[in-house]
Amino acid sequence: MPKTLSSREFNQDTSGAKKACQSGPVFITDRGKPSHVLMRYEDYQRVIGQQKTILDLVGMPGLAEIEFEPAKIKRFTKPSDLS
């Protein structure tokens, strides 16, 4: 069962909230409505799926062995009339 804390409880016992994250996310409420979620960084990374950017992929080992032939871009056959 998920742990829920009011923002006041969270402010009064931050270390307790961090310990509660070991068993799952902790929902923090503001005026009775959920407003934040506290979770372990490892869980957050798993949730977002560690999405890689193009910069991450450029530095991949073994990249030189991957064959890549980009598609040719078709050009206009006649220039645009801008008059």
The domains found in the chain, sorted by start residue, are 3-49 (3.40.1620.10)
pTM, two decimals, is 0.56
pLDDT digits (tens, 9 = 90+) for 71-81: 877 766 667 77
SS (H, E, C) 10-73: HHHCHHHHHHHHHHCCEEEEECCEEEEEECCHHHHHHHHCCCCCHHHHHCCCCHHHCCCCCCCC
Intervals of the chain under pLDDT 70 = 50-51, 55-56, 60, 63-64, 75-78
Residue 45, pLDDT score: 83
